[in-house]
Amino acid sequence: MVTVPHGHHMASLLSRAAGAVSLLAVVLTATTSTSPAAALFPEEARPTRSGYLSITSTNSLYYAFYEATDPVTTPAASAVPLLVWLQGGPGSSSLIGNFAELGPYLLLDSDTSLSCNPNRWNRRFGVIFIDNPLGVGFSVAASDADIPTDEPTIADHLLAALQSFMALDPAFRARPLFLTGESYAGKYIPAAASRILGANSKLPSNRRVNLQGVAIGNGMTHPVAQVTVHADQAYFAGLINAAQKAEVEEMQTRAVSLVKSNKYVAARRERGKIIDFLENVTGVATAFNYARGQPHPTQPLRDFLNTGEAKAALGARSDVQWARRSEAVSRALAKDVMKSAIGDVEAVLASNGTRVLLFQGVFDLHSGPASVEAWVGELAWPGLGAFLAAERAVWRLGDGQLAGYVQRSGALANAVIVGAGHMAPGDNRPAAQAMIEGWVLQTGPFGEAAVRDNVVNES
């Protein structure tokens, strides 16, 4: 295992940063580390620890860990919680989440420098970004044959990576752990959680992972149900008419039929046709957020992370070319994409104490709120009736700003975030930060006495 510790005191530096302060101009062009125009990585933006976590005798997963800058403890969390962030894809790097959504320093769309993120998720919690699965981002595989082709293998790798992380510091193991992520992590997360819970029952206490909950944003979890709502999402948003809706419904029916015939690769192609059709006929910049005027930029982050300075600061291998998405991983998981992970969610809910948060941005044509409601309604869980009957409360931030809506009962909570799409933590950062802090610490809209008059407010 290789790890690169950074000994600076990040909390005091970040607390002095007022808002999104531009720190240092970086040149977002392909450069070498010897070029005078090379991007510099501010010391205060470096991870607390980073490097590689062993998962097999020949392979490891890249990680970057940022300790909490302003930790708090509550009766619900006597030790500072740890969050794991996993990106989707399949094949997308979690450094997208780090630098474009929820990390302590962001490379913003309209900027050419790293900016302090006041809505960072590592304000209250330690956050571990893992490039997952093997073959993604800086997690280069020893050979293409080692790239996973199914969720059980990915879950085994994540458990091994977490055990390697816990070995870095004995204090890590006692801290409450939450698996979080978005999109295709809607399958990685429940699969890994189910694997962890199963392993814990057989492990001695000093080897168990203290998993307390999972949070899935705009997740693809049960595709056979989710693929049936694309037409409705677009039609009732006013983006397509009845004739176009009928065309999409025909494609949806074909996709469902292919899944039921176990023709998963063909079903994935059919779903891809649906997204392509919707982007074409609606003219939206991206189906990930139909309210955006332009697609999410990709080149700046790619150029930045491939500088020698960034790789050194992040403890990444200098010989690896970072890419937002691994086509090799996407190909390896071709048969996995349209398979379901609902059974793993049911296993987590049945585990007696592990909490589940689902959250979605409203402007997502891939896996928006209606898409998630479609599969939640199929859960085999004794608490489903009470959850479906629970009030959907209006949720506001402390300044009165509408953040979205929260519905919860028992171990399950669902949060809908306004002003956001598929990458909700980046699209509406204040709401996403309030959500994750409230849910983990069981305060605000997720506290015991939160719901009054069908409105919940952040304190």
List 164, 194, 422, 427, catalytic entry: 422
Q: What is the pLDDT of residue 278?
A: 97
Active site annotation includes 364: yes
CB atoms < 10 A from the CB of 256, how many? Answer: 18
**Burial code of 342-378, b = ≥16 C-beta within 10 A, e = fewer?**
bebbbbbbebeebbbbbbbbbbbbbbbbbbbbbbbee
Indicate the DSSP class of residue 92.
Answer: B
Classify 182 as helix, strand or coil: strand
Check residue 328 and give its pLDDT.
Answer: 95
What per-residue confidence (pLDDT) applies to 113?
79
Residue 172 near residue 138 (C-beta atoms within 8 A) = no
Strand order in the sheet with 355-361: 2-5, 49-54, 60-66, 126-130, 82-86, 177-182, 211-217, 355-361, 412-417, 402-409, 392-396, 455-457
3-state secondary structure of 283: coil
DSSP class of residue 135? T
Q: How much helix, strand and coil, in percent to the nearest 5, is found in the chain?
A: 35, 20, 45
For residue 183, indicate whether it is catalytic: yes
Per-residue pLDDT at 138: 98
Domains in the chain: ranges and CATH: 43-222+295-445 (3.40.50.1820)
Question: In whole angstroms, what is the distance from residue 28 CA to residue 104 CA?
Answer: 20
Give the integer Cα–Cα distance in Å for 132 and 87: 7
Per-residue pLDDT at 7: 43
Q: What is the pTM of this model?
A: 0.89
What residue has token string 């790619």? Answer: 302
Active-site hit among 139, 164, 183, 330: 183
What average pLDDT values come out for the chain (459 residues) when binned by 10 residues?
Answer: 47 38 31 36 91 96 97 75 97 97 87 86 97 97 95 98 96 95 97 97 93 98 97 96 98 98 97 96 95 88 92 96 95 96 97 94 96 96 97 95 97 98 96 97 84 51
Instruction: From the candidates 194, 364, 366, 427, give the one annotated as an active-site residue.
Output: 364
Looking at residue 42, what is its pLDDT? 82
What pLDDT score does 37 carry?
A: 35
- Which pLDDT belongs to residue 19? 39
